[in-house]
């Protein structure tokens, strides 16, 4: 019955459209899906949907209800990111993960006890893991809150543009429904998904009209972004104004409110950001790395096998600390106010997705190859060099001398040189430390190459588009004036192109003019034609939306077009001014973070590795000489005996510099990743393309500097250690 009614309605609607001109109607593009459920599946990332599936499957068996306050917060976060789960399921997943980790820890305890026979060493690491498992129940339960914070960060970055597009559209056509559809077509996800949800709630009967549905949605943002809510209320108020001047004034006031609110919030955010960033750098970078200086000495004095200490350090430095720093960074980013975000080029124009790959031309065809394979090859070739010390031990390769010391320096338990068929410890040699530098180098260069190859062409297109957008406000002003002077729209493009010759904007307008004059296209076809349209050479949502406003307003005459374009140029110029002021506010903090990433952190880590290697070398040398002396004075006993002192520096308890460097090097790579993501988030908000581009640059710079500093300092300090007399 419903299908029959729909067919009848569609039939008569088409007849009405044939006889009545509906110039105010906006037709959304093919990407605008009326079916919210389908669009939701397209919009949500694989990570979100996989988390959703885990919660749904495990939540059927384990459901834990959080406290009332936590329950409400989780429920709001789940609704914000459009997940179809319950807070009980999120808590149930956290408990399940904790139980699995506890069971694995108990199994690990049994394995360690079987291998070492030492109950202390066997229980130390599993007890730590059990403690971590229990402490992680709360963070895992709060995953929806972290995801919602990230979602809100991306959404708030789009809010200025959202209000801009709605104001641009309603400037010439006072229709809220079509204006919201117009905005959702150009701002991209996640805010586009939220706006589609507004229409979905009407279609499913949850709300009766657009005003009720919109107000219910805005209520969720009242606590996070009040100026966005106020701007929308001003836009709604403009619908009730009978005077055209008063209506336009309210629309312009709506844009002014969100811009002023953005600037004030960012001003406070910049003032409050310095202390958290300093604390993050000290707790997450400086103190952990400097603590490694005394770690070799401390580790040698504390009882327990060196292998257990290495595993313990790995869990602390390569798992716990990076996760802690990341969550502190996410908390800092969650407080970032509304900003101005760059559009996703691939979402804007899916055809550009091919530039994420390496393009190889074979005649008339084009072969695409993923950068992953080149990056993986670089990682394997460089990182495999770090395995040479392990291969020396496995294949019993004879050791060589390096600056008067053993190159690999494997030792027996008594501190003497390793012999074939014996249980050996190490490597303690400076050569092994230098070779170990190739593991973090290979990982960083592999990742850096991957990110560089994925973004190099797209970032170039983005930069060209940004140049065009910078000039576009002035060009629109000229175009509006030409049309206002009575020049037809078709001829105005050619006039502006002549004045702007040699600029990206001039090229854009010239392309439109050529399509009109030589190919006989209409203005719409000249701009948006799938084969020759000028817009496809400049994938900018701002330019695309401005041209669509031009086409919509052209139906009402040249005077309306002129006013619309002049107003848009003023809006764009105002947003650009505010955006530049926001960057100026954050410039000091961003420059400080960039210097930490590219210079301070790798230099400090390199120096620490050199000092730690010297300490390990001295401890190994001391252990060997004490053992030899105690054997020569076998009869001496008592507290002051050489044998008692030698027992303090047992070879099996010392952490080799080889493994120490592997842990520090990988920690440096992880910290560079986390700090780069944080710095990009503070400066640009949720800008995935620039984030990957910066990751590629920073990984190259930091790891190469770290490798050079660590190699140089290690060799210098090893030479000093050789000259230290331990007689």
- Lookup: tokens for 716: 């210098």
Give pTM, 2 decimals. Answer: 0.74
- Lookup: tokens for 52: 């959703």
Give the C-alpha separation, 304 to 300, whole Å. Answer: 9
Burial per residue of 97-107, b for 16 or more beta-carbon CB atoms within 10 angstroms, e otherwise? bbeebbeebee
Give the C-alpha separation, 36 to 58, whole Å. Answer: 26
Q: Write down the residue that tokens 């084009």 correspond to.
A: 366
Give the C-alpha separation, 718 to 359, whole Å. Answer: 48
Point out the residues of the chain with pLDDT beneath 50: 1, 20-24, 30-31, 33, 636-640
CB 137 within 8 A of CB 150: no
Residue 265 has a pLDDT of: 80
HSE-CB of 537 using CA atoms within 13 angstroms: 17
Residue 20 has a pLDDT of: 46
CB 426 within 8 A of CB 408: yes
Give the C-alpha separation, 675 to 402, whole Å. Answer: 37
Residue 12 has a pLDDT of: 61
Secondary structure of residue 286 in the 3-state scheme: helix
Sign for the CA dihedral angle at 526, 531, 535, 538 comes to negative
> What dihedral angle (degrees, nearest 10) is formed by the CA atoms of 519, 523, 524, 529?
30
DSSP state, 404?
T
Separation in Å, CA 562 to CA 75, 108, 534: 48, 74, 21
Q: What distance, in Å, lies between the first and last C-alpha atoms of the chain?
A: 100
Give the C-alpha separation, 352 to 347, whole Å. Answer: 9
Burial per residue of 259-271, b for 16 or more beta-carbon CB atoms within 10 angstroms, e otherwise? bebbbebbeebbe
Sign for the CA dihedral angle at 73, 77, 82, 83 comes to negative
Phi, psi of 643 (to 5 degrees): -60, -40
Secondary structure of residue 428 in the 3-state scheme: coil
124 contacts: CB under 8 Å, gap ≥ 6: 304, 308, 312
DSSP 184-209: HHHH-TTHHHHHHHHHHHHHTTSSSS
């Amino acid at each position: 019955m419903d299908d029959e009614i729909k067919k009848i309605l569609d039939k008569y609607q088409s007849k009405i459209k044939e006889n009545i001109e509906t110039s105010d109607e906006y037709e959304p593009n093919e990407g605008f899906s009326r079916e919210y459920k389908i669009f939701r599946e397209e919009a949500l990332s694989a990570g979100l949907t996989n988390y959703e599936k885990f919660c749904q499957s495990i939540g059927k068996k384990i459901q834990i209800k959080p406290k009332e306050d936590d329950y409400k917060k989780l429920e709001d976060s789940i609704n914000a990111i459009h997940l179809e789960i319950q807070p009980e399921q999120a808590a149930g997943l956290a408990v399940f993960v904790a139980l699995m980790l506890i069971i694995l820890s108990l199994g690990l305890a049994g394995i360690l006890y079987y291998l070492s026979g030492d109950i202390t060493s066997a229980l130390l690491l599993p007890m730590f893991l059990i403690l971590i498992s229990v402490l992680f129940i709360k963070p895992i339960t709060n995953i929806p809150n972290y995801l919602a914070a990230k979602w809100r960060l991306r959404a708030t970055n789009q809010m200025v543009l959202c209000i801009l597009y709605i104001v641009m559209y309603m400037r010439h056509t006072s229709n809220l429904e079509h204006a919201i559809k117009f905005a959702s077509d150009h701002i991209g996800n996640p805010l586009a998904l939220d706006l589609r949800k507004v229409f979905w709630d009407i279609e499913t009967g949850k709300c009766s009209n657009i005003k009720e549905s919109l107000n219910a949605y805005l209520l969720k943002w009242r606590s996070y972004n009040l100026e966005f809510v106020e701007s929308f209320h001003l836009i709604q108020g403009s619908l009730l104004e009978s005077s055209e001047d008063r209506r336009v004034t309210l629309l312009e006031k709506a844009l002014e409110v969100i811009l002023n609110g953005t600037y004030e919030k960012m001003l406070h955010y910049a003032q409050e950001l310095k202390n958290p960033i300093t604390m993050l750098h000290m707790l997450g970078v400086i103190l952990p790395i400097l603590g490694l200086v005394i770690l070799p000495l401390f580790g040698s004095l504390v009882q327990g096998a060196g292998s257990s200490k290495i595993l313990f350090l790995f869990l602390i430095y390569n798992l716990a600390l990076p996760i802690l720093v990341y969550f502190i960074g996410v908390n800092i980013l969650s407080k970032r106010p509304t900003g101005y975000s760059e559009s996703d080029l691939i979402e804007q124009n899916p055809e550009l997705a091919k530039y994420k790959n390496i393009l190889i031309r074979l005649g008339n065809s084009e072969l695409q190859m993923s950068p992953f394979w080149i990056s993986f090859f670089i990682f394997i070739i460089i990182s495999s060099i770090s395995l040479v010390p392990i291969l020396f031990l496995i294949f019993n390769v004879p050791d060589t001398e390096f600056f008067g010391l053993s190159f690999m320096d494997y030792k027996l338990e008594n501190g003497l040189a390793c012999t074939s068929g014996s249980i050996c410890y190490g490597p303690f040699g400076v050569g092994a430390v230098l070779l170990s530098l190739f593991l973090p180098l290979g990982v960083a260069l592999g990742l850096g190459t991957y990110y560089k190859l994925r973004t190099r062409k797209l970032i170039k297109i983005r930069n060209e588009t940004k140049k065009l957008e910078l000039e576009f406000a002035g060009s629109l002003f000229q175009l509006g004036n030409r049309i206002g002077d009575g020049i037809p729209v078709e001829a105005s493009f050619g006039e502006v192109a002549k004045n702007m010759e040699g600029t990206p904007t001039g090229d854009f307008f010239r392309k439109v003019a050529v399509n009109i004059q030589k190919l006989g296209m209409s203005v719409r076809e000249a701009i948006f034609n799938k084969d020759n349209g000028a817009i496809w050479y400049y994938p900018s949502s701002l330019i695309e939306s401005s041209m669509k406003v031009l086409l919509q307003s052209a139906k009402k005459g040249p005077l309306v077009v002129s006013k619309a374009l002049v107003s848009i140029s003023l809006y764009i110029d105002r947003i650009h001014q505010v955006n530049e002021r926001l960057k100026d506010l954050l410039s000091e903090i961003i420059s400080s973070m960039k210097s930490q990433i590219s210079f301070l952190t790798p230099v400090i880590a390199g120096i620490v590795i050199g000092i730690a290697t010297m300490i390990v070398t001295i401890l190994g040398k001391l252990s060997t000489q004490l053992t030899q002396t105690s054997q020569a004075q076998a009869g001496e006993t008592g507290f002051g005996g050489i044998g008692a002192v030698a027992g303090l520096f047992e070879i099996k308890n010392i952490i080799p510099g080889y493994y120490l460097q592997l842990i520090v090097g990988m920690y440096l790579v992880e910290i560079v990743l986390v700090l780069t993501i944080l710095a990009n988030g503070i400066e640009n908000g949720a800008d995935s393309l620039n984030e990957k581009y910066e990751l590629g640059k920073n990984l190259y710079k930091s790891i190469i500097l770290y490798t050079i500093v660590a190699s140089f300092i290690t060799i210098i300090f090893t030479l000093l250690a050789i000259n230290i007399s331990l007689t």
